[in-house]
Amino acid sequence: MTDFAAAFGWLFDPVNWMGPGGIPVRIGEHLLYTLLTLLLAVVIALPIGFAIGHTGRFRGLAVGVSGALRALPTLGLVVYLALIMANITIVPPLIALTILAIPPLLAGAYSGLESVNRSTIDAARAVGMTEWQIFAKVELPLSLPLVIGGIRSGALQVIATWTVAAILPVGGLGRFLFDGLAVQNYPEMLGGSIIVVVLALVVDGLFAVTQKLVVPRGVTAGKVRADVQKDQSRAFGITVPGRQPTL
């Protein structure tokens, strides 16, 4: 408890909220790095994932590549890229963290499209929709919750892992951990960790709300109607298809 008291004392010290190395600046840097990483991952992963989900091709390859990328040691990759690029900038950790963010985004994209009922897609083809119209007007709206879920998972990983990038002279909340370790300032290290946790929880909450908002109204209404019909059927003693009657 003494350690947490010291950490909260550091957090609420006005001195730590001022200057170029203050808490607001570090949070802003961390969010900027996270946003850049997610944008790069979205540009790379989502088109590939959508193509796989729409066509059903190369799914096995995508799963294998995603698993291999997840297994890469992030810190080692950051250091390796910094060495081969012969510079200490934001570029090596940005590349490494983008690679880390690709698997959950890729999985969310192709699994989202695969989750769309095939009969719905066949009906869209039957009325004369092109493949692009099927994707844009049917598959994408119905798959958005899972797509956002993949981005949500990737965002949490990136927020947590950008702290290790502070092994290089870059900004972000990881500076509190590495700078505090250098001088054995444990309240600063614990305080910085608390900020990362809170930031991750806030971002996760925002994505959770977004996932609910992007669910098409017709899908929600249809689910409610189906549940009501099942309840009414049970009330009148009618067996619901696919379920055994309750004795």
If pLDDT is split at 50, 70 and 90, which confidence band does 83 have?
Answer: confident
For residue 242, is pLDDT > 60? no
Task: Enumerate the domain spans of the chain.
Answer: 2-215
Q: For residue 182, what are its two tokens?
A: 């250098």
**Reported pTM:** 0.81
- CATH number among 3.40.50.410, 3.40.630.30, 2.40.420.20, 1.10.3720.10, domain 2-215: 1.10.3720.10
Q: Which residue has the higher pLDDT, 82 or 136?
A: 136
| Nearest-angstrom CA–CA distance, 172 and 29 | 5
Given CA atoms 112, 114, 118, 121 in this order, what sign does their dihedral have? positive
For residue 161, is pLDDT > 70? yes
64: burial class by Cβ within 10 Å (0-12, 13-18, 19+)? Answer: exposed
If pLDDT is split at 50, 70 and 90, which confidence band does 80 have?
Answer: confident
- Specify the pLDDT at position 232: 40
| Nearest-angstrom CA–CA distance, 57 and 226 | 33
Longest dimension (CA), the chain: 75
Residue 162: closest CA among 24, 22, 30, 28:
30
Least confident piece of the model among 9-13, 60-64, 90-94, 122-126: 60-64
Q: Please say whether the beta carbons of 36 and 94 come within 8 A.
A: yes
Helix, strand counts (H, E) of the chain: 11, 0
| Nearest-angstrom CA–CA distance, 163 and 178 | 9
Residue 154: closest CA among 86, 200, 202:
200
The per-residue pLDDT of the chain, averaged, comes to 83
Instruction: Tell me the pLDDT tens digit for each residue of 179-204.
Output: 998 888 999 999 999 999 999 999 99
If pLDDT is split at 50, 70 and 90, which confidence band does 246 have?
Answer: very low
Residue 77: closest CA among 95, 62, 90:
95
If pLDDT is split at 50, 70 and 90, which confidence band does 219 have?
Answer: low
State the CB neighbour count (10 A cutoff) for residue 155.
23
